[in-house]
Amino acid sequence: MPEGDAIFRAARTLHRALAGKEVTAFESVLPSVNRVNDDTPIVRRTIDRVHSRGKHLLMHFSGDLVLRTHMRMNGSWHIYRPGERWRRSRRDMRIVIATADFEAVGFNIPEAEFMPESEVARSAALRTLGPDVLTDDFDANKVIANLRERPDSPIAEALLNQHVLAGLGNIYKSEILFMCRINPLARVQELTAANVRSLVEESRRVLKLNVSEGRELMTTYGGLRGTTGRSDRTNRLWVYGRAGLPCRRCGTAIQMRKQGRDARSTYWCPQCQPAIPAGGF
pTM given for the model: 0.89
For helices 193-209 and 170-179, angle between their N-to-C axes, nearest 10 degrees: 120
User: For residue 232, what is the DSSP state?
Assistant: S
Q: Where does CATH 3.20.190.10 sit in the chain?
A: 4-122
- DSSP 3-state percent helix, strand, coil across the chain (nearest 5): 30, 25, 50
The residues assigned a catalytic role are 2-3, 55, 264
Task: Give CA–CA dist 18/13, Å, rounded.
Answer: 9
Is the pLDDT score of 3 beyond 90? Answer: no
CATH 1.10.8.50 residue window(s) in the chain: 140-268
Q: Please tell me the distance from the alpha carbon of residue 166 to that of residue 55, in angstroms, as a whole number.
A: 7
Lowest-confidence pick of 3-17, 83-97, 193-207, 230-244: 230-244
Cβ atoms within 10 Å, residue 127: 9
pLDDT attached to residue 279? 54
Cα 144 to Cα 158: distance, rounded to the nearest angstrom: 11
pLDDT at position 235: 83
140-268: CATH topology: Helicase, Ruva Protein; domain 3 (1.10.8)
What's the pLDDT at 234?
A: 79
8 A C-beta contact, residue 24 and residue 99: yes
**CA dihedral angle for residue 169, residue 91, residue 110, residue 137, rounded to 10 degrees:** 50
Mean per-residue pLDDT over the chain, rounded: 92
Q: Which CATH superfamily is domain 4-122 in?
A: MutM-like, N-terminal (3.20.190.10)
Tell me the per-residue pLDDT of 177-202, one tens digit each, with 9 for 90 and over.
Answer: 999 999 999 999 999 999 999 999 99
